[in-house]
Amino acid sequence: MTTAATSLPFLASFLILFLHHGVDAECEPVACGNFTIKYPFWLGAPSHTPPEPSCGHPAFELWCGISSTSATMRGSAIQVLSIDYAASSLVASHSRFSGRVNGVCRADFNMSSSLALSPFNISPTNMALCLLFDCNGTEPGGREYANATATCDRPVFAYLGGRYDRDKPPSIRTGNCTYTYLPVLGTEAAVSTAANYSNLLKAGFLLDWAGTGGIGDCPACVASGGQCRYRNAIGALACLCPGGKLRGPTCAGEFPRRHLPLLYCTAPVPVSGRRRG
């Protein structure tokens, strides 16, 4: 037999869960390709104006196309191939290389410029893939240089070696060539040579995002029963709590025990629970 005493706590829990579900639907984790987009990343769209508060920091907005195996960082050519949330890192590639056989022909640019003013850092675990263009008779020699000219309309040579350092390119013979170097995954480079330039460019490189910074302590918000949001106006995390109230940084104390009797009073007493005189 169900009594008022046993049904009321259940009703209170149900109401809290119902209110919580109503505030987190918009920013719930969503699958994209082979990984899940979740805070600090969030799913946006080219024609969609982010709400205030938004589901995350603007730099972490990703676009995921239909039938796509990767996501794209908002308004950029950087594609996200996988995300390791525990390590605060992701594997990214440039759209010039994704799915292209002749991507090396279009590699004469600075990768770091594509990430300017972003919270992401090119990991020092990446290796440097050096590419030489337009050598004008000063083409490099040696077995360590791979001739990548076959698929291009101009001579291109590749050299693999050394850790990637944005400010300190590897010291190699360049002659009069136009010279650029790009980060590639250290794990891939360890079992490859310069001749594998095409696969190395497609496999991408590792990016890190440092600490929590303006991202905030999302796990603490979730543990308190809330959902993580980002206040663009003040550049800080906010915690969206059951009932739709925006707090920060957690929902601790949102439903104090002394308020529960007010919820209990809204529940009707079942007829089966009354005693007849």
CA-CA distance, 227 to 55, in Å (whole number)? Answer: 9
234 and 151, same domain (yes or no): no
The pLDDT assigned to 67 comes to 64
With respect to residue 164, please indicate whether it lies within any of the assigned structural domains: yes
184 and 227, same domain (yes or no): no
146 and 186, same domain (yes or no): yes
CA-CA distance, 92 to 78, in Å (whole number)? Answer: 7
195 and 107, same domain (yes or no): yes
With respect to residue 182, please indicate whether it lies within any of the assigned structural domains: yes
138 and 179, same domain (yes or no): yes
The pLDDT assigned to 92 comes to 92
189 and 223, same domain (yes or no): no
The pLDDT assigned to 267 comes to 44
Token reading at 86: 């525990």
178 and 225, same domain (yes or no): no
With respect to residue 127, please indicate whether it lies within any of the assigned structural domains: yes
pLDDT tens sequence for the chain (277 residues): 445 444 444 433 333 343 344 445 678 889 998 899 998 899 988 877 777 888 888 889 999 876 677 899 987 888 999 999 999 999 999 888 876 667 788 787 778 777 776 788 899 999 999 988 888 888 887 888 888 887 788 888 999 988 998 778 778 888 888 888 899 999 999 989 888 988 899 899 999 987 554 567 888 898 999 988 988 888 888 899 988 888 878 898 755 443 444 333 344 444 444 444 4
Token reading at 130: 């050096």
Q: What is the dihedral of CA 118, 120, 125, 126, to 10 degrees?
A: -50
With respect to residue 225, please indicate whether it lies within any of the assigned structural domains: yes
With respect to residue 126, please indicate whether it lies within any of the assigned structural domains: yes
230 and 180, same domain (yes or no): no
Count of the separate structural domains present in the chain: 2
CA-CA distance, 130 to 144, in Å (whole number)? Answer: 11
With respect to residue 140, please indicate whether it lies within any of the assigned structural domains: yes
223 and 177, same domain (yes or no): no
The pLDDT assigned to 204 comes to 92
178 and 108, same domain (yes or no): yes
CA-CA distance, 25 to 33, in Å (whole number)? Answer: 20
CA nearest neighbour of 69 among 55, 57, 81: 81
The pLDDT assigned to 208 comes to 92
129 and 178, same domain (yes or no): yes
The pLDDT assigned to 185 comes to 94
The pLDDT assigned to 99 comes to 65
Answer whether 61's CB lies under 8 Å from 44's CB. yes
222 and 160, same domain (yes or no): no
With respect to residue 195, please indicate whether it lies within any of the assigned structural domains: yes
CA-CA distance, 191 to 199, in Å (whole number)? Answer: 12
With respect to residue 16, please indicate whether it lies within any of the assigned structural domains: no
Q: Which domain holds residue 121?
A: 103-199
